[in-house]
């Protein structure tokens, strides 16, 4: 969503001169930097709109001549500046990070999409300044397209009856303050099919803490609510709900073999044999193949956290068993998120028949390709009993169809 001030600025394209993009950049930066969680929408929208302005206003070239090149250079440089300032460095590393501090009079502080709060840091008198620690819950920290973000909650304070706010079906992503020393606190929560809340049975309140303790987290759980105590909401307690992915195990994997994609690579020659016949009679000669080749496999979710990278489970993997036919191997131990290699052995004896006074190049060949097969993985948490699914793709190099190919050697002369 683009703020009204941004939209007004973008719609005033008739007032943008070819050398005025520096002013344009400053205005957008001023409006955008206050809330980095909107950088995806605001920055890309601003850039696309400005490109359209540049391309659609042909009068710029005619009326301003040499200024156009200067304007274009300034535009490109401005885009780089916009992205470098707007994209939070902490969100690029796919690691937990702390949000900017929120206090009375400041803007709200919010985790980026794909992150959830697992702890809060207090600083200043009466825990005046607060920061959220955001941890990723989507694979590779990608934004969560399925997240449903709620409106801000009513403000809670140390005065009854509004001393706490709990949303056991959802998790915390943002915080805002009002009144002196952040006396009143409002929460923003979200829900996502990629982060199911296990429910009140698996949630509990943390001990109260303030600036003396500094930072407290939920110990492998996520924050779902908050409560206040003491003057100016000095002491806070987090409602911590179990991480549904802390101990998941694989129940089943369903492959959609009809939706596979296969990118074939050049055939692999395992054995090459040249057979010469300088006699007047046809001859036959056999050659043996005893060779191992390497296949690979990799399990990757398309979005959402499931198993931890390196976690092992038992399942079969797809492979090409014949022309346009996909089969599943016997179950064996696999490692999630890491490409694994397997040795596939081939043994065979082929016979080559060579006419008189000629030679043949005989090859033992296998086909190979990169095979992608989508899957649904059913997961279960033994501690909570929850079951949920994750979509993903099984990727790997597969090898199939050992056969022989024979080709005449042209211009062959016996004795040479």
pLDDT digits (tens, 9 = 90+) for 216-228: 999 878 999 999 8
Determine the average pLDDT of the residues in 291-311.
81
pLDDT tens digit string along 112-144?
Answer: 999 999 999 999 888 889 999 999 887 677 888
pTM: 0.57
pLDDT at 248: 81
The pLDDT value given to residue 231: 87
- Is residue 75 predicted with pLDDT exceeding 50? no
pLDDT > 90? residue 86: no
Sorting pLDDT into bands at 50, 70 and 90, what band is 304?
A: low
Which CATH number describes the domain made up of 249-408? 2.170.15.10
Distance CA 125, CA 269 (A): 74
Residue with the bigger pLDDT between 242 and 109: it is 109
Task: Give the max Cα distance, the chain.
Answer: 109
pLDDT above 50: residue 9: no
Of 347, 363, 350, nearest to 285 by C-alpha is 350
Confidence of residue 179 (pLDDT cuts 50, 70, 90): confident
pLDDT exceeds cutoff 80 at 204? yes
Q: Is the pLDDT reported for residue 96 higher than 60?
A: yes
pLDDT of 14 over the 70 cut: no
Q: Residue 302: which pLDDT band, with cuts at 50, 70 and 90?
A: low
Work out the mean pLDDT of the chain and round it to a whole number: 78
Give yes or no for residue 247 having a pLDDT over 90.
no
Tell me the mean pLDDT in the region 167-175.
87
Mean pLDDT of 295-300: 90
CB 187 within 8 A of CB 173: no
In angstroms and rounded to an integer, the radius of gyration of the C-alpha atoms of the chain is 32
Q: Is the pLDDT of residue 308 over 90?
A: no
**Given the structure tokens 């009679």, which residue do they identify?**
281
Residue 90 has pLDDT above 80, yes or no: no
Query: Where exactly are the structural domains of the chain?
Result: 4-87, 91-242, 249-408
pLDDT of residue 305: 58
Residue 248 vs residue 134, higher pLDDT:
134
pLDDT for position 310: 84
pLDDT at 67: 44
Among 4-18, 132-146, 164-178, which stretch is predicted with the lowest mean pLDDT?
4-18
Task: Summarize the confidence of residues 300-329 as an average pLDDT.
Answer: 81
- What is the mean predicted confidence (pLDDT) over 169-190? 91
Report the candidate in 203, 291, 275 with the shortest Cα–Cα distance to residue 244.
203
How many other CB atoms are there within 10 angstroms of residue 286's CB atom?
Answer: 11
Which has the closest alpha carbon to 319: 401, 219, 207? 401
3-state secondary structure the chain: CCCHHHHHHHHCHHHCCCCCHHHHHHHHHHHHCCCHHHHHHHHHHHHHHHHHHHHHCCHHHHHHCCHHHHHHHHHHHHHHHHHHHHCCHHHHCCCCEECCCECCCCCCEECCCCEEEEEEEEECHHHCEEEEEEEECCHHHCCCCCCEECCCCCCECCCCCCCEEECCCCEEEEEEEECHHHCEEEEEEEECCCCCCCCHHHEEECCCECCCCCEEECCCEEEEEEEEECHHHCEEEEEEEECCCCCCEEEEEEECHHHCEEEEEEEEEEEEEEEEECCCCCEEEEEEEEEEEEEEEEEEECCCCCCCCCCEEEECCEEEEECCEEEECCCEEEECCCCEEEEEEEEEEEEEEECCCEEEEEEEEEEEEEEEEEEEEEEECCCCCCEEEEEEEEEEEEEEEEEEEEEECCCCCCCC
> Residue 267 has what pLDDT?
93
Predicted pLDDT of residue 202: 83
pLDDT, position 93: 58
Which tens digit of pLDDT belongs to each residue from 98-107?
A: 999 998 889 9
Mean pLDDT is lowest, of 91-105, 126-140, 300-314, 352-366, for: 300-314
């Amino acid at each position: 969503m683009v703020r009204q001030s941004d939209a007004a600025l973008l719609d005033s394209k008739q007032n943008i001169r070819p050398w005025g993009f520096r002013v344009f950049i400053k205005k957008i930066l001023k409006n955008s930097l206050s809330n980095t969680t909107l950088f995806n929408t605001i920055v890309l929208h601003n850039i696309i709109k400005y490109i359209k302005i540049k391309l659609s206003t042909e009068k710029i070239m005619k009326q301003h001549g040499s200024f156009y090149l200067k304007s274009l250079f300034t535009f490109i440089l401005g885009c780089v500046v916009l992205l470098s300032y707007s994209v939070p460095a902490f969100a690029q590393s796919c690691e937990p990070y702390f949000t900017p501090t929120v206090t009375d009079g400041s803007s709200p502080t919010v985790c980026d999409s794909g992150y959830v709060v697992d702890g809060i840091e207090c600083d200043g008198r009466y825990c005046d300044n607060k920061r959220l620690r955001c941890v990723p819950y989507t694979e590779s920290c990608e934004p969560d397209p399925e997240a449903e973000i709620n409106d801000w909650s009513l403000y809670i304070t140390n005065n009854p009856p509004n001393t706490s706010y709990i949303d056991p079906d959802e998790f915390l992503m943002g915080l805002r303050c009002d009144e002196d020393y952040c006396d009143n606190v409002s929460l923003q929560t979200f829900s996502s099919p990629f982060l199911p809340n296990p429910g009140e049975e698996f949630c509990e309140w943390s001990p109260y803490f303030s600036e003396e303790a500094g930072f407290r987290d939920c110990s492998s759980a996520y924050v779902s609510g908050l409560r206040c105590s003491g003057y100016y909401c000095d002491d806070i307690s987090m409602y911590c709900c179990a991480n549904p992915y802390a101990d998941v195990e694989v129940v089943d994997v369903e492959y959609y073999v009809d939706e596979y994609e296969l990118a074939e690579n050049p055939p692999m020659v395992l054995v090459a044999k040249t057979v010469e016949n300088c006699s007047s009679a046809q001859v036959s000669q056999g050659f043996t193949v005893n060779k191992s080749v390497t296949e690979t496999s990799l399990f990757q979710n398309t979005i959402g956290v499931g198993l931890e990278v390196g976690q092992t489970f038992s399942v079969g993997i797809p492979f090409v068993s014949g022309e346009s036919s996909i089969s599943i191997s016997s179950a064996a131990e696999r490692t999630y998120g890491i490409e694994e290699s397997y040795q596939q052995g081939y043994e065979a004896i082929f016979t080559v028949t060579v006419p008189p006074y000629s030679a043949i190049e005989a090859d033992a060949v296998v086909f190979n390709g990169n095979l992608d097969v989508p899957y649904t993985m059913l997961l279960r948490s033994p501690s909570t009993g929850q079951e949920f699914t994750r979509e993903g793709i099984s990727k790997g190099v597969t090898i199939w169809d050992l056969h022989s190919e024979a080709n005449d050697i042209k211009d062959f002369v016996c004795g040479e």
